[in-house]
């Protein structure tokens, strides 16, 4: 499908222009070649805010200039959303300006408990859909949220480590992105404070991601996927109670 520019309305963010794709770049990931940070903004669902009825999550993904890069939408059934809460499995479609699905995220249903190694979380990242480019997998730790980012071949390329407490009143909650051997920090994922009313009455969150400009676009796609796994695990409401005390 040929790229068709989207004309923005007054007050709305414009779409990021499509850059040239380098050789071997999966279709849709060429945007990532010119990006070293992203802002992921969850859309506020009024039905969910006023009734507590869980709806499919939707997100705008923007660059540092406020231009829209992608749009992400959860694809899930009503029963899973209402009965399984934040541990629910999901399929997440990430689409470009032309509404082509360029990244697909898949999370299986697993319980969350720090003492059960068999319940560690994972997320498969595909780009284009059907072609696995990497994984985000939780690793066991007694009190810290820790993850590894792996290539499609299962090789660990990055690690992610969060704080013991995943709440910070009027401040950001930061997850450090580290090298594979955990000796150097190369970026971070930040859950950003979005205001008292929004924090109390909705689970619509804002996240920022920072990573090296020259990082492999497939690894960047995996870090984007890590945002959604972290959001569901630690910041998604269960009923009207958000997971805000500890990582478990």
pLDDT band of residue 236 (cuts 50, 70, 90) is confident
Which of 48-52, 83-87, 99-103, 232-236 has the highest average model confidence (pLDDT)? 99-103
Residue 207 belongs to some domain of the structure: yes
pLDDT band (50, 70, 90) for residue 9: very low
Task: Using the Cα atoms of residue 165, residue 171, residue 175 and residue 176 in order, give the sign of their dihedral.
Answer: negative
pLDDT of 81: 47
For residue 125, the enclosing domain spans 29-242
- Whether 81 is in a domain gets the answer yes
Buried b (16+ CB within 10 A) or exposed e, 123-135: bbbbbebeeebbb
* CA separation for the pair 14, 102 (Å, rounded): 19
Determine phi and psi for 230, rounding to 5 degrees: -65, -40
Note the pLDDT tens digit of each residue in 96-155. 999 999 999 999 876 665 555 567 899 999 999 999 999 999 998 888 899 999 999 999
Q: Which residue has the tokens 């990931």?
A: 29
Q: Is residue 10 part of a domain?
A: no
In a domain, 214, yes or no: yes
Most confident of 41-50, 56-65, 77-86, 179-188: 179-188
Longest dimension (CA), the chain: 51
Q: Tell me the CATH number at 156.
A: 2.40.160.200
* In-domain check, residue 6: no
Share of the chain above pLDDT 70, in %: 69
Mean pLDDT of all residues in 45-52: 50
What whole-number percentage of the chain has pLDDT above 90?
Answer: 53
Q: Average pLDDT, stretch 44-59?
A: 62
2 pLDDT higher than 70: no
Residue 8 lies in a domain: no
Sign of CA dihedral 143, 104, 221, 219: positive
116 within some domain: yes
pLDDT per position as a tens digit, 66-98: 999 999 998 864 555 455 556 677 899 999 999
**Residue 57, token pair as written in the block:** 């999550």
Peptide bond into 128 cis (omega under 30): yes
Residues in a beta bridge with 41: 60, 206
Query: Of 223, 221, 196, whose CA–CA distance to 209 is shortest?
Result: 223
The model's pLDDT over 171-215, given as tens digits with 9 standing for 90+, comes to: 789 999 999 999 999 999 999 865 544 444 445 579 999 999 999
Least confident of 45-49, 177-181, 233-237: 45-49
Total number of domains constituting the chain: 1
Residue 56 included in any domain: yes
């Amino acid at each position: 499908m040929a790229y068709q520019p989207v004309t923005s309305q007054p007050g709305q963010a414009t779409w990021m222009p499509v850059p040239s794709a380098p050789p071997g770049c999966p279709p849709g990931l060429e945007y990532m070649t010119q990006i070293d940070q992203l802002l992921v903004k969850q859309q506020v669902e009024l039905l969910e805010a006023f009734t507590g009825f869980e709806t499919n999550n939707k997100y705008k993904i923007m660059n540092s200039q406020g231009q829209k890069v992608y749009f992400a939408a959860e694809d899930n059934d009503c029963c899973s959303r209402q009965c399984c809460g934040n541990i629910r499995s999901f399929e997440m479609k990430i689409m470009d300006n032309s509404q082509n699905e360029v990244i697909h995220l898949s999370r299986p249903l697993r319980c969350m408990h720090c003492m059960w190694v068999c319940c560690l979380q994972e997320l498969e990242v595909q780009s284009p859909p059907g072609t696995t480019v990497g994984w985000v997998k939780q690793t066991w730790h007694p009190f810290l949220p820790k993850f590894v980012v792996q290539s499609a071949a299962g090789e660990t390329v990055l690690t992610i480590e969060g704080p013991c407490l995943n709440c910070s009143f009027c401040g950001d909650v930061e997850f450090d992105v580290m090298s594979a051997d955990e000796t150097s920090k190369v970026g971070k994922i930040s859950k950003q404070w979005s205001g008292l009313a929004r924090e109390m009455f909705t689970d619509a969150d804002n996240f920022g991601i920072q990573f090296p400009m020259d990082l492999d676009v497939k690894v960047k796609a995996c870090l984007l996927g890590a945002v959604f796994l972290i959001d569901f695990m630690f910041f998604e409401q269960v009923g009207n109670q958000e997971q805000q005390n500890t990582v478990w």
